[in-house]
Every structure is written in C-alpha cells, then in structure tokens.
Structure 1
Amino acid sequence: MARRHGSGSSSDDREPDGGAERQRLDKWLVYARFAKTRTVSSELVENGRVRINGARVTNPARALVVGDVLTLALPHATRVVRVLAVAERRGSFPDAQTLYTEVS
C-alpha cells in the first residue's frame, strides 16, 4: 500500500498539535538545509558530528521529535538548534528556517 503525503486524515496515533511528530535525522537535516543531500547528512551523522540532547548520534535513521536540541559540528561553524517542526520535503530557505530556532 502506498504512503500518502498531504493533509488527509490518518489512522495513526499522532497528536494533531505535533506532540508526537517524528522524522529521520538525515531527512530533517536536508529539509532544514544543514546539508544539501541525504548522503551528505548521513556522513555528517555517521562521522559523529551531530548530538541530540547532548548525546552523540551515529545512526542517520535516528528519529527526531519536536523539541529535541541538536548540536551540529558543521565545516565552518558549530550550531545549536531546537527542532520546532518536521517537514515533508525540502523547501525554500525561509521555509527551512521555520523548522528550528537557534539556542544561545
């Protein structure tokens, strides 16, 4: 059975307010524009350059949930961001910025 994307009704147990929304880490990094491709995002994670809530992660398939704090050791900077939302696809830069907020 094919998965449907969009705003249709769903029979899963997710809260409509996004409380239980999850997404693969490697996908989220691409959708939030921290990496250009899934391959690059997977390498970033596998090389130990990503932490979720302070714990190093090496599995690109690790699920993120709204509220997680990511520490990203990117090539030119270290960024600390809180996940505000998940996305279904990579959008524009302004759209990507709505997926996270910087943590100071």
Structure 2
Amino acid sequence: MRVDKYLWCIRYYKTRSIATAACRKGAVRVRNEVVKPSREVYPGDSIQVRKDQIDYTLDVLDLPESRLGAKLVDMYRKDTTPKEAFANQELLKYSKEYYRKKGAGRPTKKDRRDIDDFKDTDDS
C-alpha cells in the first residue's frame, strides 16, 4: 500500500491529497528516509510523521483494505511516539499565550501606553 494512502486510511490526515502534500514536503519518513507518496509500506515498517510540530513514530502492524473507523485504527498501527514530544507541544502552547490573539488588530491606546511604560522601565 502507498504510504500516503496508508496515512489517510489510519486517519493521520483528513484527505489523501493532504497526505500526499506532506510526503512531498518531506514530513514523512519510512525507516529514516524521506519518501515519495508512492513509496510502498509493509507490515514491520517504521514511519515518522512530522505534524503540528510533533514527530509521531508509528509501527505498521497490518495494511487496511480501506479507510477505517477511529476505533479500529489501533489494529493496524502502533504509536511509539515518545511522551517528551507531547510535553514540548504543551510548552509551546504556554509560550504563545503572551502574544496577541489573531485578529485582535492593532494595539489600542491603552496597550500602546502599557508598552511604552514597559520600555521606559526596562531601560532604566
């Protein structure tokens, strides 16, 4: 089975074209080699997927006939992603809280005054 089709079947990507694009960008590796979307995967292969700034590691257990329900995915893959990858994602989430929300627009007068006060006290 093609690697892009496999990743779509086990629900790592919403559409097969997104899975294909991820392979072309180099976000998918099989046995530590960057692969094309047409690369065949077999039971026993190890797949690394970079998605949402997390490096997922999957072991192929079996090949599904078609796209699966979410409850059946564990029969066809084993997720061996280290826990540290998810901890790094949590830290990244907390670091983004200090920035303005997307769509909040330009700073208001009060925001500008607060920024200026912060800059003035920082230089002293």
Which band: TM-score by shorter chain?
0.7 to 0.9
State, as a whole percentage, how many aligned pairs show the same letter: 25
- Structure with the bigger percentage of helix: 2
- Does residue 39 (structure 1) correspond to residue 17 (structure 2)? The answer is yes
Q: Which residue, 46, 63, 73 being the options, matches 1:69?
A: 46
| Equivalent residue pairs, number | 81
Structure 2 CA distance for aligned equivalents of residues 100 and 55 of structure 1: 19
Secondary structure in structure 1 of the residue aligned to 2:67? coil
**In the alignment, which residue of structure 2 is the partner of 1:83?**
60
Deviations 1:34-65 (A, max 9, x none): 111110000010000011011111x1111001
Aligned to 1:96: 73
For CA contacts below 8 A with separation 6 or more, give which structure has more relative contact order: 1
Matched residue type, 1:90: R
SS of alignment partner, residue 78 of structure 1: strand
Of 37, 62, 66, the match for 1:60: 37
Q: Which has the higher strand share?
A: 1
Residues 90, 96 of structure 1: 8 Å contact kept? no
Max Rg structure: 2
TM-score (norm 2): 0.62
Gaps of 5+ in 2: 83-124
RMSD: 1.1
